[in-house]
Amino acid sequence: MDEKKIKEICRKLEEHIENKNICVFKGRQKPPFLISENYFGVWLEHVFDSVLYAEMYPEKGKSVALETVDLFISLQSKDGQYPCYVWDGNRSHLPEKKNVGWAQIQECVSFGKLCLRVLDLAWDEKLAEKCYASLKKWIAWQKKYRMTTRRGLIEMIVGYDTGHDNSGRLDGMKYPQNHRFLWKEAGADISPRGCAVAPILAVDMNCVFYGDLKALAVLANKLNKESESEKWEKEAEEVKKKLFEICFDREDCFFYDVDKKGNKRKYLSSTILHLFQEGVLDINKDKEIIKEILFRHVLNEKEFWTPYPFPSMAICDPSAKKHKKYNDWGYFTQGNTVLRTILWMDKYDLNKEQDEVCKKWLTAWTECFEKMPVGQELDPVTGQPSPSAPWYSSGMLFYLWSAKRIGVTDKKA
């Protein structure tokens, strides 16, 4: 690796983040963390960007993380739904109401756990109470509107719920994007009719749901609400139990989405990584299953351990192909996915593998930086970028984090 060039790119990325990504949205007082010029806002799944930035650069980033978390809590609907995205009105030039999206869930990383990480930066009991009350409403909303088939797990009703745009795992869905009703986007609380497969019990969504329940248990304990903490723990364990009962295929040693008729949708999706990301798989209790999933799938060169890990779909899956030239969650290795490895690889003793992921990400983007400055996704085999979203928040942050981790820049992660 060209360490001199990596250091220079890191400097450029830090400058770009400070000057472009951290900006005050129209109608707000403080800046959150913008995704990119292509995605001129913050999606719920990208709250982790601001939290990691705060952990890496506490003096600069703490207020950014607080604002990003507050952005979604303050805009939460009365009955508990979080917006799926918030656009900056200075860039969108749309009416205020149209800058806030309500058509899908797209949480992707437990918002509750991210609240905990922000509170770990500096404990604030008032903020903790605010987060706790907000998360309770969010859980209640999902139980009310996303457990319509009463199977103990929450449901995907539109493809954008998962953020896996253009993935083969959405095949057969009437609404692989959003539900449109009377030529308008329907709210995420309206379940569309006439779909042969949805509502679908989605593995990734339920892992995140589990993560939020676990976060509520921790928050309740910190706030001296012991009985409530026990309640949330029990609910989380019930979600895990249902994931094993309904979504786990023992022969394949894989967790699959399940359609409304109870059929497993056998796509080898990167959703398997959410079992690790959200801590659903216990290092001690699930030791043998973890070992088998890693060996057969996650670290298998014919599936997810590609030259540039981790593809959105295992490369051996029949659906793994370029559905689109960009923003393709049925093929490309995504910046979001590699950034989220920070949440789980070291915890599951995959330290060397984490180093390898970092080196591959650094190598690929260093080589193509002049033509494409750290974008959204890479080809998992060739390492070539798609044309999507230069200066992409998750990609830039993982580049910076990786450079620190392997010792190219001053401080190690």
For β-strands 85-87 and 41-43, DSSP reports them as antiparallel
Tell whether the model's pLDDT for residue 175 goes beyond 80: yes
Q: What is the pLDDT of residue 413?
A: 46
Average pLDDT over residues 174-200: 83
Could you state, in order of their start, the residue ranges of all structural domains in the chain? 3-405
Average pLDDT over residues 113-126: 97
Average pLDDT over residues 281-309: 99
Beta bridge partners of 1: none
Q: What is the pLDDT of residue 38?
A: 87
Rounded Cα–Cα distance for residues 313 and 311 (Å): 5
Q: What is the pLDDT of residue 181?
A: 62
Average pLDDT over residues 199-220: 99
pLDDT in tens, 67-81: 999 999 999 999 999
Rounded Cα–Cα distance for residues 314 and 301 (Å): 9
Beta bridge partners of 228: none
pLDDT in tens, 39-57: 999 999 999 999 999 999 9
How does DSSP classify residue 243? I
150 Rama class: left (phi>0) / alpha (psi -120 to 50) / beta: left
Q: What is the pLDDT of residue 412?
A: 46
310: amino acid identity, one letter: F
Helical ranges in 253-328 per DSSP H? 274-277, 287-293
Average pLDDT over residues 348-366: 99
Contacts from 240-247 at CB under 8 Å and sequence distance 24+? 240/210, 240/280, 242/151, 242/152, 242/153, 242/206, 243/153, 243/203, 243/206, 243/207, 243/210, 243/280, 246/151, 246/152, 246/153, 246/201, 247/153, 247/201, 247/203, 247/206
- Cβ within 8 Å of residue 386, ≥6 positions away: 325, 326, 327, 328, 332, 375, 376, 377, 378, 379
DSSP character string of 4-33: HHHHHHHHHHHHHIIIIIB-PPTT-SS--B
pLDDT in tens, 257-273: 999 999 999 999 999 99
Tell me what percent of the residues of the chain surpass a pLDDT of 90: 92
Phi and psi for 177 in degrees, rounded to 5?
Answer: -110, -100
Radius of gyration of the chain (CA): 20
Instruction: Evaluate whether the domain defined by 3-405 bears CATH number 1.10.1420.10.
Output: no
In angstroms, what CA-CA distances link 253 with 47, 282, 311, 395?
31, 16, 19, 30
Choose the weakest-confidence range: 58-72, 160-174, 175-189, 306-320.
Answer: 175-189
Tell whether the model's pLDDT for residue 193 goes beyond 90: no
Mean pLDDT taken over the chain: 96
Q: What count of other Cβ atoms lies within 10 Å of the Cβ of residue 190?
A: 14
Average pLDDT over residues 24-30: 94
Tell whether the model's pLDDT for residue 137 goes beyond 90: yes
Q: What is the pLDDT of residue 161?
A: 97
* pTM of structure: 0.96
Residues 308 and 379 sit within 8 Å (Cβ to Cβ): yes
Cα 382 to chain centroid distance, Å, stands at: 24
**What's the token pair of residue 313?**
């779909």
Phi and psi for 255 in degrees, rounded to 5?
Answer: -100, 125
